Amino acid sequence: MSVTINVFRNGELKNRNLFPGKSISIVLDYLKGNDIDYAIQDSEDALEESRINNESIISIDDTNLLDVEGEANFVTEYSLSYDNTIYNNLLKILQ
């Protein structure tokens, strides 16, 4: 179990932060508790959306460090519009 925070800007990966041993639940609790809108979205789709719309997107992935092949039958990726304060707060709560 770990969480990866990616920042996509204009179709490019700008930042990637990996937090081993962290649970996605603390991220979702933060987003919900602060009434921050987010979407269920595959990271590849978020990357493409950032290119098409010429915008920055934070993509949050509940990563499997073992890199086991196969598909999960539940949602593990989320995205939201980039906001520097939100991004920095996410990094802080995951450290």
Q: What is the mean pLDDT of each run of 10 residues along the chain (95 residues)?
A: 94 96 94 96 94 96 61 71 98 97
Which pLDDT belongs to residue 73? 44
pLDDT of residue 1: 79
pLDDT, residue 74, reads 53
CA atoms within 13 A on the CB side of 47: 12
Whole-model pTM? 0.86
Whole-angstrom CA distances from 72 to 35, 68, 76, 93 are 27, 10, 8, 25
Residue 45: the pLDDT is 94
